[in-house]
Structure 1
Amino acid sequence: MDQSITWTAVVLILTGMCVGEGILPPGPLSGAVAGAVKFTTTLKPPEKPFLSVSWSFKGVNIITSTSVNVTDPGHADRISLDRATGALELRGLVLEDSGEYTITIIPDGGLQKLGTTTLNVFAPITGATIRSPAATLIEDKSSTNLTCEASGSISTRVWLKDGHPLPPSDRVSFSIDKRAVFIRPVQSSNHGTYQCRVSNPVSSMTASYNLTVNFGPHNISIIGPAEASPGHRVMLQCTADSVPPANFSWLFNGNETQVNTSSYIIERLGEENIGNYTCTASNLVTMMENSTIIYLRASCAAPCWSFSVLVISTLALRRLI
């Protein structure tokens, strides 16, 4: 009789009929250090309690529950077993709890059921920060790098600039582990806020860094009317793309004025105000400057026609002299 029972068991094992398919949900499971995780099964409580429920970790028994429980001393205060379904809760997780877990269930009448899954334990991410060498960066003359640091189990690092993904380019490159980004050389487009998003399956953290690239002045222009009615107030506004903000100065017909702001204001347009206005923007860090010119004239509507003639005659007289 004993030989018959043994032979039946061997046949079941060889045919795979003893393995309970889908007894554990697909893994891996993720857990945080000091946290808890529950290995649930797909089983419903049977009419008759299971004869035996066993869990092992890396081939070493954690708990075997029959009429009594036999528990590994290292897990005694950290596990709870649901005898009805075989589910196991593991608390106080440590990194060393990562690995393969196996459940073996022997029903009261039926086939042995097996299930295996994997647990990955991660240390929560803390202290994320971005570091960069302290230096004054000037467009096309300087290079720099940003380094993303954090504590914990780091699975991924993602770099962003001004809220958008930062792609590699002919000037932007990354270290293999994405820990550092290199910019050689910097340009005005590299000026802005950089973010490094560090994550693992149980936590994430984002660090920010404002990178200052000194550049310009670029795109200098004068906003204002090219012509205006005599007696009217006229304002010319000079703009330029520059970091730090540009300093401004104005020339009128090639002569220096006392205006050193971005705005040139004429309270009442007169004959003496007709001519070329030159705005010069300068950057004291990049040591660059740029200029633009606008010609201001009186409008030629009928009411100011005589005035326009007067202006032309006066200018012609000055040229003759």
Structure 2
Amino acid sequence: MAKLSGPVIGEGYVGRISLDNSTGSLELLKLTIADNGEYRVILRESDLMYLSNTSLNVYDGPDGMEIKGPTKIEVGQKFTLTCSTDSNPPASYTWVLNGTKIPGHSPEFTKQKSEYSDSGDYTCTATNDVTGNKISVVLKLSVKDAL
């Protein structure tokens, strides 16, 4: 903890926090998902102590999206593609293969037995239903003959 001009401020908040000692008003700047949580302000004046508790839920994202999975497989092989992103609330997902929507809203897409028609561009789109923000990433998959 850092101590600046009287109030005790956590290191992650230095330069992002404003506290009005006369009212107990706390202002956080440049919010991130990491700021989610419970907050307590304690004001001491003479022999009196004032406590105030509140919770903060920061809605943000999706950010930092990626698709993990193979880019080359053999026909008949099982494959899984996994889409991930940082989002609060958690994002909903859609998958598209070569312009055709794949049913479902899971961050994971699995095919038990690949076919040549599974080759192409897999687009995963993550949507934060609260913020309305969307982000998409593409993975190119090539299905080849078994050796």
Instruction: Flag whether TM exceeds 0.5 (same fold).
Output: yes
Give the secondary structure class of the aligned counterpart of 1:261.
Answer: coil
Instruction: Assess, with a 3 A threshold, how the Cα gap between structure 1 residues 197 and 176 changes in structure 2: closer, same or farther.
Output: closer
Q: Where in structure 2 are the equivalents of 1:98-109 lying within 5 Å?
A: none
**Residues of 2 paired with 1:194 and 1:178: CA distance?**
19
- Separation of aligned partners in 1, 2:121 and 2:93: 16
- Which segments of 5 or more consecutive residues in structure 1 lack a partner in the other structure? 1-155, 306-321
- Counterpart AA for 1:304: A
Aligned-partner residue type, residue 146 of structure 2: C
Determine if contact 2:24/2:43 at 8 Å carries over to the other structure.
no
Residue 199 of structure 1: how far off its partner (Å): 8.6
CA apart distance, 1:304: 2.4
Letter in 2 for 1:221: E
Shift in Å, 1:194:
4.4
The answer to which structure has the higher strand fraction is 2
The alpha carbon displacement at 1:229 in A equals 2.5
Partner of residue 257, structure 1: 102
TM-superposition CA deviations, 1:58-93 (whole Å, max 9, x none): xxxxxxxxxxxxxxxxxxxxxxxxxxxxxxxxxxxx
Q: Percent identity?
A: 23
Residues 277 and 221 of structure 1, relative CA distance in 2, 3 Å threshold? same
- CA distance 1:178–1:263, change in 2 (3 Å): same
Asked if residue 158 in structure 1 is aligned to residue 23 in structure 2, the reply is no
For residue 197 of structure 1, report the CA deviation from its aligned partner: 6.7
Aligned equivalents of 1:284 and 1:177: distance in 2? 38
Q: Secondary structure at the match of 2:141?
A: strand
Query: What is the CA–CA distance in structure 1 between the aligned matches of 2:11 and 2:43, rounded to whole Å?
Result: 15
Q: Does 1:188 align with 2:32?
A: yes
Match of 2:84 among 229, 239, 250: 239
Match in the other structure for 1:167 = 13
Residue 187 and residue 255 in structure 1: after superposition, are their counterparts in 2 closer, same or farther (change >3 A)?
A: same
Tell me the residue number matched to 2:63: 218
Amino acid at match of 2:36: G
Aligned to 2:131: 286
Counterpart secondary structure, 2:124:
strand
- Using a 3 Å threshold, how does the CA distance of structure 1 residues 276 and 296 change in structure 2: closer, same or farther? same
Contact in 2 for aligned 1:278/1:291 (Cα 8 Å): yes
Question: What's the C-alpha RMSD, in Å, of the aligned pairs?
Answer: 3.0
Q: CA separation in 2, counterparts of 1:178 and 1:168?
A: 20
Once the two structures are superposed, what CA deviation does each residue of 1:119-162 show, in whole Å capped at 9, x if it has no partner?
Answer: xxxxxxxxxxxxxxxxxxxxxxxxxxxxxxxxxxxxx7534xxx
Structure 1 distance, partners of 2:95, 2:60, is 21
Q: CA deviation at 1:255?
A: 1.4
Secondary structure in 1 matching 2:142: strand
Which is richer in helix?
A: 1
Counting matched residue pairs gives 138
Using the TM superposition, give the Cα deviation of residue 195 of structure 1 relative to its aligned residue in structure 2, in angstroms: 4.0
Find the aligned partners of 1:226 and 1:209 in 2 and give their Cα distance. 47
Contact 2:33/2:60 (8 A) holds in 1? no
Deviations 1:202-250 (A, max 9, x none): xx9x976441111111111111111223212101011111111101011
Alignment of 1:194-205 (within 5 A): 194-196=38-40, 198=42
One-letter amino acid of the counterpart of residue 40, structure 2: C
Q: Give how far 1:188 is off.
A: 2.1
1:304 is aligned to: 146
Pairing 1:248–2:93 present: yes
- Deviation of 1:178 (Å): 8.7
Counterpart-to-counterpart distance in 1, 2:134 and 2:104: 17
Tell me whether 1:229 sits opposite 2:39 in the alignment: no
